[in-house]
A and B are shown apart, each in its own frame.
Chain A
Amino acid sequence: MSSDSPDLVLQMCGISKRFTGVVALDDVHFDLRAGEVHVLLGENGAGKSTLMRILSGACSRDAGTIEIDGHTAELHSPRDAQRLGISTIYQEFTLVPHLSAAANIFLGREPGRFGAIDRGRLLSEARALLADLGTAIDPAVEVRRLGIAEQQMVEVAKALSVKARILIMDEPTSALTDSEIDLLFAAIRRLSARGVAIIYISHRMEELARVGHRATVLRDGRTVGTRPLPAPVPELVRLMANRDIAEHFPVPTRKRGDELLRVEDASRGPRLRNVSLTLHRGEILGVAGLLGAGRTELARAIAGADVLESGRVVLNGRPLRLRAPADAIRHGIGLVPEDRKRQGLVLQQTVTSNLTLPQLVRLSTAGVIDRAAERREATTWIRDLRVKTAGPDVAVATLSGGNQQKIVLGKWLAARSDVLIVDEPTRGIDVAARMEIYALLDQLAAQGAGILMISSDLLEVIGMSDRILVMHGGRVHAVLDRGATQEAVLHAALGLAS
Chain B
Amino acid sequence: MRRLVSSGRRLGTLLGLVGLCLLLWILTPHFLTVSNLVNVLEQTSINAVIALGMTFVIISGGIDLSVGSLLALAGVVLATLLHAGVPPPLAAAAALATGFLFGTLNGLAITLGRLPPFIATLGMMSIARGCALVFTEGRPISGFDDGFRSVATARLASIPAPVLVTIVAYGLGQFVLSRTRFGRYTYAMGGNEEATRLSGVNVRLHKTVVYGVSGLASAVAAVLLTARLNSAQPIAGIMYELDAIAATVIGGTSLMGGEGTLTGTLIGALIMGVLRNGLNLLGVSSFLQQIVIGLVIVTAVLVDTTLKSRKA
Contacts and interface: CB of A to CB of B under 8 A. Distances in A.
Interface of A: 303, 305, 324-326, 328-330, 335, 337, 342-349, 353, 357-358, 360-361, 364, 367-369, 371, 390, 393-395, 397-398, 411
Contacts of B194: 342-343
Given A325-B197, A325-B199, A329-B200, A346 B191 contact: yes
A347 B181 contact: no
Contacts of B182: 367
A329 B180 CA distance: 21
B181 A360 contact: yes
Nearest to B259: A348
Given A349-B187, A349-B188, A367-B182, A398 B195 contact: no
Given A368-B181, A398-B2, 19 more contacts: A325-B198, A326-B201, A328-B200, A329-B200, A330-B200, A337-B198, A342-B192, A344-B195, A348-B2, A353-B187, A357-B199, A358-B200, A360-B184, A364-B180, A364-B181, A367-B180, A367-B182, A368-B179, A394-B1
Interface string B186-219: 0110011011111111100000000000000000
13 contacts: A337-B195, A342-B192, A347-B192, A348-B259, A349-B187, A349-B188, A353-B184, A357-B188, A358-B200, A360-B184, A361-B181, A364-B180, A395-B2
Nearest to A350: B3
B99 interface: no
Contacts of A325: 197-200
Interface of B: 1-3, 179-182, 184-185, 187-188, 191-192, 194-202, 258-259
Nearest to A333: B200
Nearest to B312: A397
Contacts of A343: 192, 194-195, 198
A394 B195 contact: no
A346 B194 CA distance: 9
Contact of B3 (A324, A367, A394): A394
A265 B198 CA distance: 23
Contacts of B201: 326, 357-358
A484 B42 CA distance: 76
A337 B201 CA distance: 16
Nearest to A393: B3
B307 to A, nearest CB: 15
Given A364-B181, A367-B180, A346 B2 contact: no
Contacts of A347: 191-192
Contacts of B3: 393-395
Contacts of B192: 342-343, 345-347
Nearest to B197: A325
A448 to B, nearest CB: 22
B202 A326 contact: yes
Contacts of B184: 353, 357, 360, 369
Nearest to B187: A349
Contacts of B1: 390, 394, 398
A361 B2 CA distance: 27
B149 to A, nearest CB: 35
A12 B194 CA distance: 41
Contacts of B187: 346, 349, 353
A348 B181 CA distance: 17
A348 B256 CA distance: 12
Contacts of B179: 368-369, 371
A346 B198 contact: no
Q: Which of B184, B192, B195, B197 has the most CB of A within 10 A?
A: B195
A381 to B, nearest CB: 15
A411 B199 contact: yes
Q: Which of A303, A305, A343 has the most CB of B within 10 A?
A: A343
Contact of A348 (B185, B198, B258): B258
A181 to B, nearest CB: 34
Contacts of A335: 198
Contacts of B195: 337, 342-346, 357
Nearest to A336: B198
Nearest to A415: B200
Nearest to A412: B199
B170 to A, nearest CB: 18
B181 A369 contact: yes
A363 B300 CA distance: 38
A329 B181 CA distance: 17
Given A367-B180, A368-B179, A371-B179, A358 B199 contact: yes
A267 B86 CA distance: 59
B151 to A, nearest CB: 28
A143 to B, nearest CB: 24
Contact of B198 (A303, A353, A368, A394): A303
A208 to B, nearest CB: 37
A342 B1 CA distance: 23
- The 8 A-B residue pairs with the shortest CB-CB distance, nearest first, are A329-B200, A346-B191, A326-B200, A358-B199, A346-B192, A395-B2, A357-B199, A360-B181
Nearest to A408: B195
A346 B185 CA distance: 11
A423 to B, nearest CB: 11
